[in-house]
Amino acid sequence: MRNSPWLLSTAVLITLLSLPSSMVGQTERKVTKLAEGVYEIEHRENEGGNTTVIIGDRQVFVVDTCFLPSAAREDIAQIRQWTDKPVSFALNTHFHNDHNFGNRIYMDAFPALTIIAHVETKADMDRFGPGSLSREERDSYGVQQTLRAMLETGKTQDGRILTEEEKTEVKDMLVRQPKVIEELKKVKFQSATLTFDHDFNIDLGDREVQIKFLGRGNTAGDAVVYLPKEKIVVAGDLVVYPIPNMIDGYPVEWIQTLQNLAQLDTDTIVPGHGPILHDKTYIYLLRDLMKSAVDQMNEELRKTAPAMFHTLDDVKGSVDLTSFRTRFAGDDKDLGEAFDDVSARLVKLVFQEASSR
């Protein structure tokens, strides 16, 4: 289930229920022109991560192909309005399926397409991709049962009474879930066709695209795409705004990877999800959050005993990230709850990482 952020977010919504409006996310599809011939598409909620389209004189390069086939088709139709050049390259920033389920849709539309991924990302896609459809289906069934039970009882799983607004949202989710599964049933999984392990550059025709591996972070194979002339960087889920993704990952190395990312000369940062960032403040904030978690955990282990002699429950109380809460969430209650959830997962990841040393 590691590559099902779609259902993870749904599960988070169910447990949080308040159904935070800010977590429900993007209701509209949003397209932003970043430079002449460079566009970013923010998808609707549950359609997948952001897609970036880079158009050269000869060829088009797409970063991430999103999750829902209908959304990928919509993107392709839009690309065809922008240019008559073919999409020759699609790059998957990492293996989570909300960034690559659209691969096959692009390949059907552009048969000469090369799909690029870091070597570790392709390995994980090959491992988790083919089975991920049946997992989505099974997990969605479980989610639907939970939602139905909530409607019948009028309560959340932990017994809180649902508001009318929340009931409406639950009903909407119950309508959406089977539709998504019906769509997904038609997906043929398509993995990457070209791998890399460090850096390489592509010239699309008067447009240089640099593909970089800056270190592990969100996954073992996070790729970053950099346009040096336009000073644009596409960061994938190394950077998710306004609350980071902490499904799995490598916090210790992630700190350094964000540091490397911040060293690129850029004033436009496309996160894996969420709106475009125009400076590096948020990258530093993410770095500082993870560094604080790692430092506090190390200090506790130094004072007591190595991680192997502890359980997570023993030590998690020694890591306090509340000073970051308002820096991420402001005074938004829903974002605050999402931050608490993510902090808990970060502490767990940090502990797991310490245990494997």
Mask for 255-274, x = binds Zn ion (CB under 5 A): -----------------x--
- Residue 337 contacts Zn ion per CB under 5 A: no
CB-nearer residue toward Zn ion: 230 or 237? 237
- Residue 236 contacts Zn ion per CB under 5 A: no
Q: How many CB atoms lie within 10 A of CB 203?
A: 12
CB-nearer residue toward Zn ion: 46 or 190? 46
Instruction: Enumerate residues 272-301 that contact Zn ion by CB under 5 A.
Output: 272
Mask for 185-204, x = binds Zn ion (CB under 5 A): --------------------
Among 40, 136, 237, 300, binds Zn ion (CB under 5 A): 237
Residues in contact with Zn ion, counted by CB under 5 A, come to a total of 5
Report how far residue 115's alpha carbon sits from residue 289's, in angstroms, rounded to the nearest whole number: 33
- Residue 120 contacts Zn ion per CB under 5 A: no
CB-CB contact of 324 with 289 (8 Å): yes
CB-nearer residue toward Zn ion: 237 or 300? 237
Give least dist CB 322 to Zn ion, A: 26
CB-nearer residue toward Zn ion: 96 or 310? 96
Give least dist CB 234 to Zn ion, A: 13
Report how far residue 283's alpha carbon sits from residue 269's, in angstroms, rounded to the nearest whole number: 9
Q: In what order do the strands lie in the sheet with 268-271?
A: 200-203, 208-213, 223-227, 232-236, 268-271
Q: How large is the angle between the packed helices 119-153 and 5-16, nearest 10 degrees?
A: 30
Q: Which region, judged by CB under 5 A, interacts with Zn ion, from 69-77, 231-239, 255-263, 329-337?
A: 231-239
- Residue 251 contacts Zn ion per CB under 5 A: no
CB-nearer residue toward Zn ion: 49 or 102? 49
CB-nearer residue toward Zn ion: 98 or 222? 98
CB-CB contact of 140 with 181 (8 Å): yes
CB-nearer residue toward Zn ion: 48 or 336? 48
CB-nearer residue toward Zn ion: 47 or 230? 47
Could you write out the DSSP letters of every residue in 10-39? HHHHHHH-S--HHHH---S-EEEEEETTEE
Q: Which region, judged by CB under 5 A, interacts with Zn ion, from 26-34, 59-67, 93-101, 327-335?
A: 93-101
- Residue 98 contacts Zn ion per CB under 5 A: yes
Give least dist CB 93 to Zn ion, A: 8
CB-nearer residue toward Zn ion: 6 or 226? 6
Residue the block writes with tokens 């309560």? 155
Report how far residue 98's alpha carbon sits from residue 36's, in angstroms, rounded to the nearest whole number: 27
Query: Where are the alpha helices (H) located in the chain, listed in sequence order?
Result: 5-16, 21-24, 69-82, 103-109, 119-153, 164-184, 251-262, 281-303, 312-315, 325-329, 333-355
Residue (of 158, 184, 178) closest to 14 by Cα position: 158
- Per the structure block, which two tokens stand in for 168? 């409406």
Mask for 146-185, x = binds Zn ion (CB under 5 A): ----------------------------------------
**Bond into 242 cis (ω within 30):** yes
Instruction: Enumerate residues 26-45 that contact Zn ion by CB under 5 A.
Output: none
- Residue 49 contacts Zn ion per CB under 5 A: yes
- Residue 47 contacts Zn ion per CB under 5 A: no
Report how far residue 327's alpha carbon sits from residue 339's, in angstroms, rounded to the nearest whole number: 10
Could you write out the DSSP letters of every residue in 161-173? BPPHHHHHHHHHH
Give least dist CB 240 to Zn ion, A: 7
Q: Which residues lie near Zn ion (CB under 5 A)? A: 49, 96, 98, 237, 272
